[in-house]
Structure 1
Amino acid sequence: METESLVETLEAAGLSPYQAAAYVALLDLGTASATDVADASGVPAPRIYDVLRSLEELAYIETYEEGSLRARAHSPSGVLEDLRGRATRLEAAAEEVEDRWEQPELEAGGASIVTRFRTVIERAESFIEDATHQILLSTTTRNLRRLAPALREATDRGVSVRVSVHTADGEDRPDPELFDGLCLEARHRPLPAPFVALADRRQASFAHHPDSYDRYGVLVNDRTHTYVFYWYFLTCLWEPWEVVYDAAGDGLPREYLDVRHLVRDLRAVDWASDPVRVRVEGHDTGTGEERTVEGTVVDVRVPFASDASTGFELAGQVTLDLDVGGEHVSVGGWGAIVEDIEGTRLTVTEAPRLL
């Protein structure tokens, strides 16, 4: 680095122009009188004494009397530590500026476009950490491992977690042990897919697959927009694919992702002759308050016939009717309006014949 550049860099690190010029001159001279330092550095002679004393206070140099005021540079270890500390703080500040620019605060009803996948997955991790009842995730095995600690903690505190892992051609089918303790159920999609994380039916974190032409991410804190990602998750990333892990097995209780899945299974059994009891956790559609009920199935209502090859109704009203201690309670899915409860977690607790 040339002398002029070194002086400019020291100025950027916090020295005054005169301090930087005098210090660099003294590094070259080794030991010199104040007059010689002034001549070599271009610092005006009347100012050189104050400049040298200020450098001594910063521990860059030391001064002594030998007929006249003289100065010599300290061992650079202290200076180097100071400069490197400043560099570290500047680097940290640069990263913080970038992060704050990339991660605008998501207000309720807000959505943001971001350009880095790192931002998408970090925000997904924060959504998972704050979730209280449901997490849906589409990811690679690599990113699943990245999010594993947050997912494990969510599962431990009773959050319902479901994971769809996608793999590229030539990649092995994910080992079921990978999901142990992380989720209730996992499926495998042997095709590349976007990264999607949905939390509590309100927050969404989305990024295109890295090989996609489009390279951007979307962050959402809004039920309406998250609802769109939810349907994309169900239809493209969940419903068609093979189950590779099921924490519940074939026994009871059995939890369902959506009222539509439960109604589909109920229509295949004689629930009228063999009563089925269901516990519903959700929100009262009249007050918005959380509500939990448990009762016996008395009706399932699907007002149209589905032609979907999966038998999964992809649109329209689907309702589960329960007898809760003599009271009729209707349960709908995400966005329910006409039913009594919007069900967020539905669990079959009793069934003479397993669904």
Structure 2
Amino acid sequence: MPSDDLEAALDGVISRFNLGEYEISAYLAVLQHGELTASEIADRTDIPQPRVYDTVRSLGEVGLVELKESRPMKVIAIDPRESFGDIQESLDELVEDLSARYTAPAREPEAVSLVKSRPTILRYLEDIIDAAEYELLLSLTPSLLDRFEDTLRRRREDGIGTEILLSPAGDAPDPEMFDYDAVATTVKGRRGITTPVVAVADGNYSMYATRESVRGAPDRYGVIFNRSELGFLVSGFLNTVLWTTADTIATADTELPFPRRYGTIRRCISDLVALEGEFYATIEGRNVATGDSWVVEGRVGEVSFGPNREVATLVVETEDGPVDVGGQVAAYEDIEAYEIRVGRDAPPSA
């Protein structure tokens, strides 16, 4: 479609839907009753009597109602499928032409990106869900769970280990009515409406958004972190502050497949403390004392959580002795783990 025609088509669609408050009130009243006079519209809406005639004539000009010039004048409803039929066809054609001109923006954020647009926040949330290679931690509203259910199901089928926190818990779907196992390995509910929306993929690509920003409030914000050195802040907050103050809604009935990869030590320990048997680990990270890269392999000798998951202990028995494993920015342990691989029979290959 040529540029001039495209601009005209876009202007036509916008003007067709550019209804004011009075037009909307009058249109809905006529739709509900089928046929009304101007006086009846004024009685059933907040439209001042002197404005009714101009209002309904505007509706008639765009083909949403039919005006019967009688005494008194009658406003007759038109089936929306008829009045909007041509617009639907025009809109489909318009969207197709606009899509042909669309150039996808770069989706890679900076190390830290501040966003305030609700559509942009939701786009990054979906991008983080899609970006996960093995681990996904989410704090969502029940409505966001519904919005991204199909995507979460697909990621679960891809083998992504997923933990979801829902709040407010009172609005979460009933486990007997919703297949939580299809979207996550563990789902918890947290009381209250102030819980932020949080997403962490593989312990590094993450976001934090206020609840108000997801509802579209203009003075609120979301923050996107695209570096592991910063992503651990969001992951740690979700694990220690949010997750520990929530109650379990559902856990997967299926046995976890091994070998598995973990981006956060707390998720690894959370799985291992609930399972029996012997495990082996390969840890990629760096020496806490020297900063040198270090790969540790051996049998998992100890796993435990302190109160509120603030202290997480993972010890690997190696040929050179036990090695204490910590998460990102570890200080007291021997190694700061970037990635943890766990297997049943032997240390998984790095």
Cα distance, 1:327 vs structure 2:
4.8
Partner of 1:126: 127
Structure 1 residues 11 and 258: alpha-carbon distance in aligned structure 2, compared to 1, 3 A threshold: closer
2:299 to 292, 295, 302: 295
Give ranges in structure 1 of 5+ residues lacking alignment: 1-8, 15-79, 270-274, 351-355
Structure 1 pair 282–131 and aligned structure 2 pair: CA distance change class (3 A): farther
TM-score by length of 1: 0.55
| Aligned equivalents of 1:251, 1:90: Cα separation in 2 | 47
Residue 335 of structure 1 is matched in structure 2 by: 329
Residue equivalent to 1:222 = 227
C-alpha contact 1:186 1:244 (8 A) present in aligned 2: yes
1:312-335 CA-to-partner distances (Å, cap 9, x unmatched) read 3536xx543222467533322233
Aligned mates of 2:94, 2:173 — CA distance in 1: 45
Deviation of 1:231 (Å): 2.3
1:106 to 84, 105, 109: 109
**How many residues are matched?**
252
Q: Which residue of 2 aligns with 1:171?
A: 171
Mapped contact 2:281–2:316 kept (Cα < 8 A): no
How far residue 198 of structure 1 moved from its aligned partner, in angstroms, is 0.7
Asked if the contact 1:330/1:341 (under 8 Å) is kept, the reply is no
2-side partners of 1:265 and 1:184: how far apart?
Answer: 10
Per the TM alignment, residue 251 of structure 1 is displaced from its structure 2 partner at its CA by 9.6
Q: 1:293/1:251 Cα in 2 relative to 1: closer, same or farther (>3 Å)? A: same
Q: Secondary structure at the match of 1:233?
A: helix
Offset, 1:13 = 5.6
Aligned ranges 1:1-355 → 2 under 5 Å: 87-88=94-95, 91-92=98-99, 100=105, 105-107=108-110, 110-167=111-168, 171=171, 174-175=174-175, 177-192=178-193, 193-210=195-212, 214-247=219-252, 259=265, 277-280=278-281, 282-285=283-286, 293-297=297-301, 311-312=307-308, 314=310, 319-324=313-318, 327-336=321-330, 339-340=334-335, 342=337, 344-345=339-340
Q: CA deviation at 1:349?
A: 5.5
After superposition, the Cα gap between the structure-2 partners of 1:174 and 1:320, relative to the gap in structure 1 and judged at 3 Å, is: same
With 135-144 and 223-232 compared, the bigger mean Cα shift is at: 223-232
Measure, in 1, the Cα distance between the counterparts of 2:151 and 2:117. Answer: 21
CA separation in 1, counterparts of 2:221 and 2:334?
38
Contact 1:117 1:207 in 2 (8 A): no
1:243 partner letter: T
Structure 1: how far apart are the matches of 2:269 and 2:93?
63
What is the CA–CA distance in structure 2 between the aligned matches of 1:158 and 1:314, rounded to whole Å?
28
- Kept in 1, the 8 Å contact 2:207–2:234? The answer is no
The CA RMSD measured in Å over matched residues stands at: 4.7
Change (3 A) 1:190 1:156: same
Partner SS, residue 199 of structure 2:
strand
Compared with structure 1, are the counterparts of its residues 288 and 131 closer, same or farther at alpha carbon in structure 2 (3 Å cutoff)?
farther
Which runs of structure 1 show a deviation greater than 6 angstroms over 4 or more consecutive aligned residues?
83-86, 249-257, 261-267
Structure 1 residues 157 and 208: CA distance shift in structure 2, 3 A = same
**DSSP-derived class of the 1:238 partner:** helix
Read off the aligned partner of 1:332 and give its amino acid letter: G
TM-score, normalised via structure 2 length: 0.55
Corresponding residue number in structure 1 for 2:68: none
Report if aligned partners of 2:303, 2:315 keep a CA contact under 8 Å in 1. yes
**2:23 paired residue number:** none
Separation in structure 2 between the aligned mates of residue 313 and residue 322 of structure 1, nearest angstrom: 19
The structure with more radius of gyration? 1
Secondary structure in 2 matching 1:231: helix
Matched to 2:192, the amino acid is: L
Identity between Structure 1 and Structure 2 (%): 20
Question: What's the secondary structure of 2:171's corresponding residue?
Answer: coil
